[in-house]
């Protein structure tokens, strides 16, 4: 239960009655505090913004690989157990096709 420090039914010049926007209790406006989300709240309902709201992911550095074999020219070929040549992976002349997989 929030504690009110002053009588809320007494006139204080320059001050006015207002409701806490969280608990709904009546306070003098000078007793309410603006919170990080813009609400005017009593002291019991005031809370700091969570630190994880300020967390930023590290900036992504270069993700490209430094070098690559062009056109898959290093693709493995050979013969099967009967001596028949095995075509390169993907069925192309040279090089593996890592694209669609519908060859
Ligand atoms: Zn409150």
Query: Is 57 within the bounds of a domain?
Result: no
pLDDT in tens, 34-76: 999 999 999 999 999 999 999 998 888 777 888 877 765 555 6
Q: Is residue 55 part of a domain?
A: no
Residue 50 belongs to a domain: no
* CA 89 to ligand 1 center in whole angstroms: 70
Per-residue pLDDT, 73: 55
Domain of residue 12 covers 1-45
Centre of ligand 1 from the C-alpha of residue 16, in Å = 16
d(CA 7, CA 31): 12
- pLDDT greater at residue 97 or residue 21: 21
Q: What total of structural domains would you count in the chain?
A: 1
Residue 31 has pLDDT above 90, yes or no: yes
How many angstroms separate the alpha carbon of residue 41 from the centre of ligand 1?
A: 5
Q: How far apart are CA 9 and CA 25, in angstroms?
A: 13
Residue 60 is assigned to a structural domain of this protein = no
Q: Is residue 20 part of a domain?
A: yes
Residue 78 lies in a domain: no
CA of 1 to the centre of ligand 1 (A): 8
Domain membership of residue 7 (yes or no) is yes
**Mean pLDDT computed over 21-40:** 96
Specify if 32 maps to a domain. Answer: yes
């Amino acid at each position: 239960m929030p504690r009110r420090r002053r009588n809320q039914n007494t006139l204080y010049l320059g001050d006015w009655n207002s409701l806490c926007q969280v608990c709904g209790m009546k306070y003098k406006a000078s007793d309410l505090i603006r919170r990080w989300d813009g609400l005017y709240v009593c002291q019991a309902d005031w809370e700091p913004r969570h630190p994880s709201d300020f967390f930023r992911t590290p900036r992504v550095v270069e993700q490209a690989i430094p070098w690559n074999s062009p056109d898959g020219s290093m693709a493995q070929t050979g013969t099967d157990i009967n001596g028949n040549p095995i075509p390169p992976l993907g069925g192309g002349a040279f090089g593996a096709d890592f694209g669609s997989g519908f060859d």
